Amino acid sequence: MLTANLAFLTVPGVTVPLQVIIHGSALMTITSIVVSFVLLNMYASTKFARSTTAVNIMWSITNGVGIPGLAVLHSLPMVSLIWSILLFFVALAYHVFVQAHLTVRIIFGVVYFMLFCVGTLGCMILSFFARVDV
């Protein structure tokens, strides 16, 4: 993702609003990488070699920040990556639909519409099959 962001900045005709969006996307990507490495370093230590020690450490962390805080901490890398992808998509769509030639706009408009339909259908199918009646 980081390489795609940096490569996008080298495209001729990238305006200032696009640069701001791409820099935001790159920042989110770097945040995702750093938080992932911090969590990996924390859990790859020898303290977690024994299951009882690992349970005690996780219990103390849970008591300190609570289960919602622990969930937020562990979801930060994925959330940052999702925001990075979303910002990159916005920048690419802006570049294609505002600055590109009409033929490119039509082709990518059809492709984006098909991707939107497939994504929406996938979300609907997942939501239908993930429904749990309590």
The pTM of the full predicted model, rounded to 2 decimals, is: 0.76
pLDDT band at 66 (very low <50, low <70, confident <90, very high): confident
Query: Could you tell me if 76 and 130 lie in one domain?
Result: no
More confident residue, 99 or 79: 79
Say yes or no: 28 and 78 in one domain.
yes
> In a 3-state reduction of DSSP, which class is residue 132?
coil
CA atoms within 13 A on the CB side of 111: 9
Residue 116 CA to chain centroid, in angstroms? Answer: 18
User: How far apart, in whole angstroms, are the C-alpha atoms of residue 7 and residue 25?
Assistant: 12
Which of the two residues, 50 and 18, has the higher pLDDT score? 18
Q: Given the structure tokens 């945040």, which residue do they identify?
A: 31
Are 7 and 26 within one domain?
yes
Considering its fold, how many domains does the chain have in total? 2
110 pLDDT above the threshold of 80: yes
Same domain, 40 and 14: yes
Q: Which residues form the domain of 53?
A: 2-99
Mean local confidence (pLDDT), 81-94: 93
